[in-house]
Amino acid sequence: MPETKVGLATEGPSRLQAILNLSRDAILSISLEGTITAWNAAAERIFGYAPDEIIGRPLATLVPADRRYELASILERIQQGHIQETYETIRVRSDGIPIAVSICIGTIGKGGHVTGAVAIVRDLSETNRALEAVEESSAKLNEREQMLQRALSALRKTHEAAKSTQMQLVQAVKLESIGRLAAGVAHEVKNPLAVILFAVDYLKEAVPNQDENITVALTDAREAVIRADSVIRGLLDFSTATELTTDLQDINALVRRSMGLVKHSFTKGHVFVVEELEEGLPPALLDRNKVEQVLVNLMINAVDAMPEGGTLIVRTRKDRMVGGPDVGVRATDTFRVGQGVVLIEIEDTGTGIDDKSKARLFDPFYTTKPPGKGTGLGLAVCKSIVALHGGTVKVANKEGGGGARATVVLRSVRPEMEVPRDG
Amino acid sequence: MDKLRILLVDDEPSFTRMLKMSLERRGFEVVAENNGAYAHTVAADFLPDFVFLDVIMPDVDGGEVAAKIRCNPKLKDVPIVFLTAAVSKETTRVKGNMIAGQTYLAKPTTVDEVVRCIEREMKKKAGAKSA
């Protein structure tokens, strides 16, 4: 076969020469003293020295100054005939640029004597560059993945925020339409109510009080008018609960004033009142009348929840928001992290809130009170007033039961922002 | 002592009728007018001691009627109270029955409340005169 002939024809020194010249790795030989004695084409390409420039020069020519310590050990082991190893190190090119290499070195000899060594040097720069490129790509991929993850989570958050904003909008539109309707209807309904009330009062005075049924009928009619009027008033509160006239308020003074307004109900309902008002609270920017309306409402609810009497605790304290469902950086979050707030808590020892009512407490027209006692608008109005102040109101059962607690959280103002009283 | 003369101006005849009957029972002399545009001429003729005015009426608003009544030199100090469904009881209670310097009474109200309002305003007027 022709191939065999070629193979046979390339036997001998020329084959070795071909291997040397075809090799992509540098192949060089050194003498026992460390002088370079042979140099192939790849060595010239890797190190930049032509054979006639390097042959006869010391191996140290290829070793950077900070690696010279390797030389003595290598030469010593060559001389002892022990060396046969592969290692990675740094060598230096003719233009002074260091290159990463992998060196395979082994001794050679003649007639049982070690005459020197042969080294095969592989340029690792390309491999390293490839590796670096791979690492770089992988890092970039990681980065992109993280970016995608971040984008995804931001998207999720935005979606949540959008959903919650939409719900708030729907609610706002609902309330606004109730408000508009209320304002329009109120005027038309209040006039006939006024007529009925005058008529009932007139009849009560004018009709001789002999028939007991007449008295009952007139009393019922009068109460019905007052009830209808309170529904209309509740509705009107929606239409007027959109604007605030705020100034800096001392929360404790405001709480005490509100308690004063409900004092009669406390006495009538056999309710013992405990005041736990923290001194030195920061002021808050509030519409005094509207917040009083909220507190009066919550206290009346508490009294109504204790038909047999009980204890009502009114507590105030300051705090800073650190976490929770209403705290964060989204536009829909009520409070920032670190926001200074004042809390007003109203606790009763009543029956608490049943599971059915929990979700509907703040819905307009939802009430658990007997007919005539409540319009179901009190808490809805409270919520809309507190929300206008950038605060929250929550009503929940006390931990361990035995009554409910209403908590109003309002943003406080740093005392230094307070307008100085004297000039 | 002469009866106190009250002028009621409201576009709702049943309202003025009921209030007139109720106030007459309590010893007041009452004239009711359901057309706001004529109110000042009726006032000039009747010369009331006290005026209750509706705020929102079909052709004219209570503020205009009040200004026209007070244009009459004989009525420049007559107490005028707006009796209206346009404000809530809470507003009038919290603001001490005053909005923009004007006394209001929210509908619906009771005759007792109306009478208390007349007494209070007449006392205020008397105090202002003696001062």
The 3-state secondary structure of chain A, one letter per residue = CHHHHHHHHCCCHHHHHHHHHHCCCEEEEEECCCEEEEECHHHHHHHCCCHHHHCCCEHHHHCCHHHCHHHHHHHHHHHCCCCEEEEEEEEECCCCCEEEEEEEEEEEEECCEEEEEEEEEEECHHHHHHHHHHHHHHHHHHHHHHHHHHHHHHHHHHHHHHHHHHHHHHHHHHHHHHHHHHHHHHHHHHHHHHHHHHHHHHHHHHCCCCCHHHHHHHHHHHHHHHHHHHHHHHHHHHHHCCCCCCEEECHHHHHHHHHHHHHHHHHHCCEEEEEEECCCCCCEEECHHHHHHHHHHHHHHHHHCCCCCEEEEEEEEEEECCCCCCECCCCCCCECCCCEEEEEEEECCCCCCCHHHHCCCCCCCCCCCCCCCCCCCHHHHHHHHHHHCCCEEEEEECCCCCCEEEEEEEECCCHHHCCCCCC
CB contact under 8 A, B108 and A225: yes
- pLDDT value at position A91? 93
Provide the residue type at A9 as one letter: A
What is the spatial distance between Cα A334 and Cα A392, in angstroms, rounded to a whole number? 8
For residue A306, is it left (φ>0), alpha (ψ between -120 and 50) or beta? beta
CB contact under 8 A, A197 and B21: no
- pLDDT value at position B107? 86
Q: Is A66 on the interface with B (CB under 8 A)?
A: no
Per-residue confidence band for B101, with pLDDT thresholds at 50, 70 and 90: low
Q: Which of A186, A201, A293 sits opposite B110 (nearest CB)?
A: A201
Residue ranges making up the domain that contains B123: 5-130
CB–CB of A368/A357 below 8 Å?
Answer: yes
Residues of A in contact with B91 (CB under 8 A): 240
Q: In this model, does residue A357 exceed pLDDT 90?
A: no
Its sign, for the CA torsion A144, A147, A151, A157, is: positive
Q: In this model, does residue A9 exceed pLDDT 60?
A: no
Per-residue confidence band for A12, with pLDDT thresholds at 50, 70 and 90: low
Q: Is A196 on the interface with B (CB under 8 A)?
A: yes
Per-residue confidence band for B117, with pLDDT thresholds at 50, 70 and 90: very high
Specify which of A145-154, A223-232, B100-109 reaches the highest per-range mean pLDDT.
Answer: A145-154
Tokens describing residue A177 = 């339409």
Other beta carbons less than 10 A from residue B92's beta carbon: 19
Q: Which of A314, A240, A284 is nearest to B94 (CA)?
A: A240
Summarised one tens digit per residue, pLDDT across range A75-134 is 888 888 777 788 899 999 999 999 999 999 998 888 878 889 999 999 988 888 888 899
Q: Please, what's the largest Cα pairwise distance for chain A?
A: 151
What is the spatial distance between Cα A26 and Cα A28, in angstroms, rounded to a whole number? 6
Element (H, E) at B126: helix B111-130
Cα dihedral angle (B5, B10, B11, B13), rounded to 10 degrees?
-60
- pLDDT value at position A122? 92
Q: Is A187 on the interface with B (CB under 8 A)?
A: yes
Q: Is A53 on the interface with B (CB under 8 A)?
A: no
What is the spatial distance between Cα A187 and Cα A165, in angstroms, rounded to a whole number? 33
What is the spatial distance between Cα A409 and Cα A393, in angstroms, rounded to a whole number? 6
Q: What is the CATH number of the domain that holds B45?
A: 3.40.50.2300
Using CA coordinates, name the residue in chain B closest to A203.
Answer: B22
Q: Which of A199, A205, A233 sits opposite B90 (nearest CB)?
A: A233
Question: Considering chain A, what is the average pLDDT of its residues?
Answer: 83
What is the spatial distance between Cα A32 and Cα A75, in angstroms, rounded to a whole number? 7
What is the spatial distance between Cα A273 and Cα A267, in angstroms, rounded to a whole number? 10
Q: Does the complex come out with an ipTM higher than 0.90?
A: no
Place of tokens 């009928």: A217
Residues of B in contact with A241 (CB under 8 A): none
Interface test with B, best of A185, A188, A193, A195 (most B CBs within 10 A): A195
DSSP state for residue B49 in the 8-state scheme:
S
- pLDDT value at position A110? 84
Task: Report the number of distinct structural domains present in chain B.
Answer: 1
Residues of B in contact with A293 (CB under 8 A): 90
CB contact under 8 A, B18 and A236: no
Q: What is the mean pLDDT of the segment spanning B12-39? A: 93
Summarised one tens digit per residue, pLDDT across range A26-51 is 999 999 889 999 999 999 999 999 99
Tokens describing residue B6 = 């009250």
Q: In this model, does residue A10 exceed pLDDT 50?
A: no
CB contact under 8 A, A202 and B111: yes
What is the spatial distance between Cα B83 and Cα B66, in angstroms, rounded to a whole number? 12
Q: Which of A187, A198, A237 sits opposite B56 (nearest CB)?
A: A187
Residues of A in contact with B106 (CB under 8 A): 190
Element (H, E) at B13: helix B13-25
Which residues make beta-bridge pairs with A396? A405
How many residue pairs bridge chain A and chain B with CB atoms within 8 Å of each other? 64
Q: What is the mean pLDDT of the segment spanning A379-406? A: 86
Q: Is A223 on the interface with B (CB under 8 A)?
A: no
Minimal CA separation from B16 to chain A, in Å: 8
Provide the residue type at B25 as one letter: R
**In chain B, which residues touch A (CB < 8 A)?**
12, 14-15, 18-19, 21-22, 25, 56, 85-86, 88-91, 94, 106-112
Residues of B in contact with A191 (CB under 8 A): 12, 15, 85, 107
* Structural domains of chain A ordered from first start: 2-123 (3.30.450.20), 137-240 (1.10.287.130), 244-417 (3.30.565.10)
What is the spatial distance between Cα A322 and Cα A340, in angstroms, rounded to a whole number? 10
